[in-house]
């Protein structure tokens, strides 16, 4: 347990987004479910605020609270793989990198995110998607069960047959219903080698490239995922030096079918324009899962705004490229994740995560280093968001919401929100678990 002024306290309150500077009265670094039960009971009995930290990667810094108790799960990092039953048993402090390290020893994976330092827990509880979601669905589509400490201090097992309403709610409903101390995931055959990489086009070709990509979307096999990243070119070794710092559209490609089939599938993507350069070929799946880590290191200032889209309208593509020509920081980007495939084949009410009509997820990722740039970078991000709103579905991926966007929680859950309120009322009627994108009881 750490209090202000004690050795390790300041380090323990640092999270991924450097804009977050909160000072809990007490940080409890739990070693297991018993510590979680005790901490939940302490917060409830004393009427103090409680926040729960796993990976500490949430954009809004919801892992920390001012003046209350932060339950730090980051030391609970066990990942156990059962390659025969195709199951993974994962503690909440594990990162995507921890998970991949164990699962890929057997050529297995679960759909997770795109940054290996992200925590498995927060990603999963918000829904979760990544490079293999077109083939295997969202993270919560692959969640089999969970051990959950509820607000009354009980440890319960939630699955399709035990506490099914709680199991329905934690699959996308965030940390509103308890503290998960163990996740059980289904595992899928992936890798250990995939075919993928980057093809980088000049931004002036961006509209045409994204139009051509859009036209290929419906015909793509589920094993192929192509996301677009619009930003200034980083100094990648395969790009000519004169292109470094210029506006680009990078196609990020991951094909998880037989690597020998990769070149044929990717070849058309090389001819959507005249690329600055490319780096595409066979590589370990674990390497691709870490490919964007250098652009997402902790310690920078970050502000996000996000929309879901059914399609990519020409007007949307034009305005996005216009805004990338006015980036407020060399670290800022707009990414468009192409979903579809298995993510769209699950009923919207099958679990709390509802966004089954979202073919594309856009995140306006404001990122910079100096506090003096806060106003300009935040204003630019909000402006892009507002300009793109007429083309959007109106829904949003809850993990991309900043802390100020609590008014969008209803939009994040859409038709499932009323049922989530009912489950919240049953499992947490006093709203002990409120330091999140809160579903009020």
Report the percent of the chain where pLDDT is more than 90. Answer: 99
Tokens linked to 31:
């070693």
Contact 252, 195 (CB under 8 A): no
Q: Please say whether the beta carbons of 67 and 49 come within 8 A.
A: yes
Across 346-373, average pLDDT: 97
Q: What is the pLDDT of residues 275-311, one digit of tens each?
A: 999 999 999 999 999 999 998 999 999 999 999 999 9
The CATH code of domain 9-72 reads 3.30.43.10
Range from 40-49, 151-160, 399-408 carrying the lowest mean pLDDT: 399-408
Compute and round to an integer the Cα radius of gyration of the chain: 21
Sign of CA dihedral 7, 12, 15, 16: positive
* Domain residue limits, the chain: 9-72, 79-190, 193-404
> Does the global pTM surpass 0.85?
yes
**Tokens at residue 179, please?**
């503290």
Helix (H, G, I), strand (E, B) or coil at 425: helix
Instruction: Band the pLDDT of 403: cuts 50, 70, 90.
Output: confident
Domain 79-190 has CATH 3.30.465.10: yes
Give SS3 for 88: strand
Q: Which residues of 408-429 are buried (b: 16+ CB within 10 A; e: fewer)?
A: bbebbbbebbebbbebbeebbe
The mean pLDDT value for 193-209 works out to: 97
246 pLDDT above the threshold of 90? yes
SS3 state of residue 182? strand
The pLDDT value recorded for residue 374 is 97
Instruction: Give exposure, 206-235, as e/b (b: 16+ Cβ within 10 Å).
Output: bbebbeebbeeeeebebbbbbbbbbbbbbe
For residue 377, pLDDT beyond 90: yes
DSSP 257-293: S-GGGHHHHHGGGGGSS--SEEEEEEEEHHHHHTTTG
Mean pLDDT of 116-136: 97
Mean pLDDT over 94-103 rounds to: 98
Work out the angle at residue 55's Cα, subtended by the Cα atoms of residues 54 and 56, and round it to the nearest 5 degrees. Answer: 95
pLDDT recorded at residue 417: 97
Q: Assign 14 to helix, strand or coil.
A: coil
Q: Say whether 79-190 and 9-72 share the same fold.
A: no
Q: What is the mean pLDDT of the chain?
A: 97
Q: For the domain made up of 193-404, give the CATH fold.
A: Vanillyl-alcohol Oxidase; Chain A, domain 3 (3.40.462)
Label residue 405 by pLDDT band (50, 70, 90): very high
Task: Count how many residues are written for the chain.
Answer: 441
The pLDDT-based confidence of 358 (bands split at 50, 70, 90) is: very high
Q: What's the confidence (pLDDT) of residue 363?
A: 97
**Across residues 127-155, what is the average pLDDT?**
98
Q: How far is CA 216 from CA 210, 212, 267, 278, in A?
A: 10, 7, 13, 20
What is the maximal distance between C-alpha atoms in the chain? Answer: 64
pLDDT at 72 exceeding the cut of 90:
yes
Report the share of the chain in percent with pLDDT over 70: 100
pLDDT exceeds cutoff 90 at 330: yes
CA–CA–CA angle 302, 306, 308 (5° rounding): 155
Say yes or no to pLDDT of 416 above 90.
yes
The pLDDT, as a whole number, for residue 336 is 97
């Amino acid at each position: 347990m750490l209090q202000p002024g004690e050795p390790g306290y300041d380090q323990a309150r640092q999270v991924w987004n450097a804009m977050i500077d909160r000072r809990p009265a007490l940080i409890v670094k739990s070693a297991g479910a018993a510590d979680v039960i005790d901490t939940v009971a302490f917060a409830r009995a004393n009427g103090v605020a409680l926040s729960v930290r796993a990976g500490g990667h949430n954009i809004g810094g919801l892992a920390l609270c001012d003046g209350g108790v932060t339950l730090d799960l980051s030391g609970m990092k066990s990942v156990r793989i059962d390659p025969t039953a195709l199951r993974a048993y994962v503690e909440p402090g594990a990162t995507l990198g921890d998970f991949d390290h164990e699962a890929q020893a057997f050529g297995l994976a679960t759909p997770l995110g795109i940054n290996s330092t992200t925590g498995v827990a927060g990603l999963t509880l918000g829904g979760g998607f990544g490079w293999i979601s077109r083939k295997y669905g969202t993270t919560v589509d692959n969640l089999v069960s969970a051990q959950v400490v509820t607000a009354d201090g009980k440890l319960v097992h939630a699955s399709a047959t035990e506490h099914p309403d709680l199991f329905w709610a934690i699959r996308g409903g965030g940390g509103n219903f308890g503290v998960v101390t163990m996740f059980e995931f289904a595992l899928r055959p992936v890798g250990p080698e995939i075919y993928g990489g980057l093809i980088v086009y000049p931004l002036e070709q961006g509209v045409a490239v994204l139009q051509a990509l859009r036209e290929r979307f419906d015909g793509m096999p589920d094993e192929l995922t192509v996301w677009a990243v619009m930003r200034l070119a980083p100094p990648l070794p395969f790009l000519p030096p004169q292109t470094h710092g210029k506006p680009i559209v990078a196609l990020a490609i991951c094909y998880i079918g037989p690597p020998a089939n990769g070149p044929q599938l990717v070849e058309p993507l090389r001819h959507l324009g005249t690329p600055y350069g490319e780096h595409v070929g066979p590589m370990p799946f674990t390497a691709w899962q870490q490919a964007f880590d250098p652009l997402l290191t902790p310690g920078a200032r970050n502000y996000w705004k996000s929309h879901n889209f059914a399609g990519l309208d020409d007007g949307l593509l034009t305005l996005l490229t216009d805004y990338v020509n006015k980036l407020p920081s060399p670290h800022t980007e707009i990414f468009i994740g192409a979903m579809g495939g298995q993510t769209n084949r699950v009923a919207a009410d099958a679990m709390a995560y509802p966004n089954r009509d979202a073919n594309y997820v856009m995140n306006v990722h404001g990122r910079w280093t100096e506090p003096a740039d806060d106003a300009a970078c935040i204003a630019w991000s909000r402006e892009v968001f507002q300009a793109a709103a007429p083309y959007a579905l109106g829904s949003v991926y809850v993990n991309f919401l900043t802390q100020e966007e609590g008014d969008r929680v209803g939009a994040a859950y859409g038709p499932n929100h009323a049922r989530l309120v009912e489950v919240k009322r049953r499992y947490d009627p006093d709203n002990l678990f409120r330091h999140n994108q809160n579903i009020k009881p």
